[in-house]
Amino acid sequence: MLKDFILPDIGEGIVECELVEWLIKEGDLIEEDQPVADVMTDKALVQIPAPHGGRVTRLYYQQGESAKVHEPLFEIELNGSEAADSAAANDTAAATTTTETSATEAKVTAAPESATSRVSEDFILPDIGEGIVECEVVEWLISEGDHIEEDQPVVDVMTDKALVQIPAHTAGVVNKLYYPQGDIAKVHQPLYAVIPDQQTSGAVDSDAVVAAVKRSSVSSESSSSSPVAQSSHKAEGHEPAGSEAAPILKAKALASPAVRRLCREYELDILTVPGSGKDGRVLKEDVLSFQQQQKQQQHIPAQDLVESIATRPASPSAGSEIRIEPIRGIKAAMARQMTISASTIPHFTFGDEVDVSGLLELRKQLKPKAEKLGVRLTLMPFIMKALAMAVQQHPILNSRVNADCTEIHYLPDCNIGMAVDSKIGLLVPNIKNVDKLSILQIAAEVQRLVEAARDGRVAQQDLQGGTISISNIGALGGTYTVPVVNAPEVAIVALGKIQQLPRFDAQGQLEARSIMNISWSGDHRVIDGGTIARFSGLWQSYLEDPATMLLDLS
């Protein structure tokens, strides 16, 4: 049976996409959910999975061409066995209503007319951010057959903005996980199935469900000839005689961000790690196993090592291959945002230095009081408060322009963003209404957002609505930089590291002072050099003499 695969909606307002790369070719046998193509929209690179198993008979587009949404992408000849099995499963599910075992099996195979509708409940992936229609399944925190509690974390998913943890909506026994790790899950589609506790105590026994799930899993693995089954067979130690144990260098590795991070922590080249997942995808267990093998090899006696090297056939150098890694998630969002900023905003930079000796002394006095309240007091809350106060006298710094730059929109609230170097990439969460918060309240918000950003778990509302930004490059040891304005904002300041430098006092005496360099970047369409110099001068005066802030506090 021939069937066209219709390219589905892949993003709000997207009507076409560029076909970047076919991952299959005509004549190939493919499995359900196997990645078949990488396509590029004007927002992201998206990987399209196969809806059915079968043989590819026709590709309707060449690489580099534009494919239309809701139009055929490729043609597939469905597996006869797959169609027959599906029909048989539906017939069996409709006829089986007499025994508890039959109901359980029908639930496991997810037949629509079976007892599934009575005992199994799908968890639908909810909206996890404005404009987000899909996400990558980074790591399942549960497995099929597990009993879970309400609000228990079940899965980590990666959007193009943050790492999000999805909690369980109800307590019960996990029946089915609809996506393997590394696959793309769709918003408003089933993520996993669960048998709620209030139903497991009735006609269907929890142990029977768990056993049925395991039997179904074993049966599907033994009858499948897919790469997943073959990889699992090898992972269990059933290697054919004479197989090579040495790692094989691949041109491209499939792995989730969490697995790639684990490889970096162990200083492993992910291309050399054998993958046991679907299509050779590298899983966490593969990395841990490979790392253990590397440790054991390091303890081989010297004579054995020499003999092993002498008898091993020559392999290509690792440097002869170019490692290719798709730009996804936070990195893809940063790439888009910086491209927009650099291409649409004419930047100019203004630099100066600030003597923060008095501010450091004030912080030293207030720090113990803040610690008693459980708040870590740094210089950032003072810097933000001074910035918000200076904005009140120079509101052009807290504005944005419309698309064709014919209007300036002055914003009522000062929401200051701070760039954070998180483990998943650059994040810029912002603190809302800094102009209305106390120093202690700002410090508590800074502490909360920094901890959340470094874990990659910043809430969407904390990433939206910023009006002006701060980049603390000095925390990493930098002195000067030229920051890029975070569109649609019109200004950003970078803070350099604080240095002890010689300076002359009012009497002409040389003394050591704590000096911090600052670098402003502004949108030259609406801000000129004189404006930012006057604004920065007022802000610097608050930082150099913090007592003067009391006069302007409202």
Please identify every residue annotated as catalytic: 524, 528
- Strand, helix or coil for residue 314: coil
> What type of residue sits at position 401?
V
**Any bridge partners for residue 17, and if so which?**
67
C-beta of residue 158 within 8 angstroms of C-beta of residue 138: yes
Integer Cα distance of 204 and 307 in angstroms: 61
**Any bridge partners for residue 58, and if so which?**
75
Q: Is 277 exposed, middle or buried (0-12, 13-18, 19+ CB in 10 A)?
A: buried
C-beta of residue 401 within 8 angstroms of C-beta of residue 523: yes
> What type of residue sits at position 503?
R
Integer Cα distance of 134 and 125 in angstroms: 9
Q: In 397-454, where do the E strands start and end? A: 399-401, 408-410, 416-418, 420-422, 425-427, 430-431
C-beta of residue 117 within 8 angstroms of C-beta of residue 103: no
C-beta of residue 167 within 8 angstroms of C-beta of residue 153: yes
CA atoms within 13 A on the CB side of 253: 27
Integer Cα distance of 431 and 439 in angstroms: 12
Crossing angle of helices 529-544 and 380-393, in 10° steps, is 130
Tokens of 239: 């290697």
Residue with tokens 């007892």: 115
- Strand, helix or coil for residue 212: helix
C-beta of residue 38 within 8 angstroms of C-beta of residue 63: no
